[in-house]
Structure 1
Amino acid sequence: MAYYQNYNREFKGRSLVGFPQDFCVVDIETTGLAPGSDGIIEIGAIMYENGEAVDEFSSLLQPSVNEMGDYVSPFITELTGITNEMLDTAPPTEQVLAEFFDFLGDSIIVGYNVNFDVNFLYDAIYEHLGEYMTNDFIDILRMAKKLYPEMPHHRLGDMTARFGIVNKSAHRALSDVEATYACFREFCTEAEIRHGDTAEFLKLFSKKSILSK
C-alpha cells in the first residue's frame, strides 16, 4: 500500500477535550496494531443526543487474508472471540465502511485511546471510499490520567474495574462502546467533585484543545 508512505492524515480532525451532549462513541477491533498493514474486523458505535442514546451501529468486516490464508491470528481470536469462520460470512469492508461513514456524519467522536481507532478508520475510509474522515474526537483516556494520577494504569479494563462497570464482552466493539460511555459519565461526575465543575477540570488541558460550547 504505497500511499501510506509519507502519509500524514492532513485532514484528520482535532483532538479535543470536553463533555458534549451530542456525540458518537466509537470502538473498533483490528487484526493488529498497524494501520495500512492490519485491517479492521469490527466497528461498534452508539450515537448520543442530549446525553441519550438514539441509534447504534455494529458490524463485523471481512478483511484481507494474512500470509497464512486466515483473516485473524489465534491471538486475535483469543483476545476478541472473533473467529475466521465469523469473518468468512461478514460483509465486505467497503460496504461496512460506507454504512458507518454515513451513520457517523459530522458527529464528534468519543472513545477510549481513540486516536488508535481514528487513525485506522481515517486510513481505511480513504483507501476504500476515497473520502476523508474529518471528525473531531475526544479521547477520554486523557481525562482518566488527569482525574486519577494515582492509578498505575488507565486502561479501559482498569477504569471499569474501579467503577464496578460490567463489560459483558470486553474486546468486542459494541460492548467496549457501552463501557466507554459508562466511564465517560463517571469522569464527568468525578470532574465536578474534584474541581467544582467540569469547566474548571478542563482548564488542566491546553486551551486550544478545549471543546467550545
Structure 2
Amino acid sequence: MCYPVHPLTRLNLGVALWWAGEPSAARVMFEVFHTPKKPSDTQPEPAEGKEVLVDELLRIHAYAGLGITLFATSQHARALGILEAVANSAFADAYFFLAFGFIRLAMKKPRDAGHSFAKACNLEKFNMEIRFLIGGIYLLFSSANKAISFYDVVIKERDRTFGAPALLNRAVGHAQLNLIPTALKDIQLVQRLYPEFSKRYRMQVDSLDFQLRVKARKQRAEET
C-alpha cells in the first residue's frame, strides 16, 4: 500500500538528496510542489491562518529548491523562471536572495546578482552573516574588490562571530589583488584582535601567513 508523503518530509528529503549529490532525485521531490492540484485534491482552507502560512512557506522553499536543482541539472532557463517567481513573492527571505544571487553570478549576470544581494541586505539590515556570505560568494567568483567591500562592513561592526573570519577572508581578497602587504596586515589584525580564533584555526592562519610572506619575498626580489 502506498502512503502519501507529508509536504515537510518531502521538502527535507529533497534537501537531503541535494546534499547527497543527487540533484535529479531532489528535483523530483521539489517538483511535486510545482505541480498544480487536481480539483479532487483541493480541500477547504483551514480555519487557522497560521496553517495556510506554513503551507505557503513550504511551497516557496520547495520552489527555491526546485530552481537550484534545475540549475544543477543544466536546465538554466527553467531554473531562472522558477526562481523569479519566488523572488516576486512575499515569502522570499534573505537566504533565498543569496542563492539567487549566486546562480546569477554563475550565469555571468553580475548586475542581476548585485540586485539580489542588495535585497538580501535590505531584508536583514543588521545580520552580519548575510554580508559575510555575500563576500564569500564574490571571493569564490574572483570578484575580490566586491568581496572586500562586504567584509569591510563586517569588520567595522566588530561582529563577535564573523569579524575574525571576515578579516581572514579579506586577506585572501587582498592577495587576489596582489596587495600582499595589506593582506599581511589583515593577518596581523586577526592575530591581535582575535587571539582565540587564531589559536583555534592556527593551521589556516599560519598557512595563509606563510604563503603571503613567500609572495612578499618574491615581489621584493623582482623589484631589486
Tell me the TM-score range normalised by the shorter chain.
Answer: under 0.3
Higher helix share: 2
Give TM-score, length-normalised by structure 1.
0.24
More relative contact order, 1 or 2 (CA 8 Å, 6+ apart): 1
Higher strand share: 1
Give TM-score, length-normalised by structure 2.
0.23
Q: Which has the larger radius of gyration?
A: 2
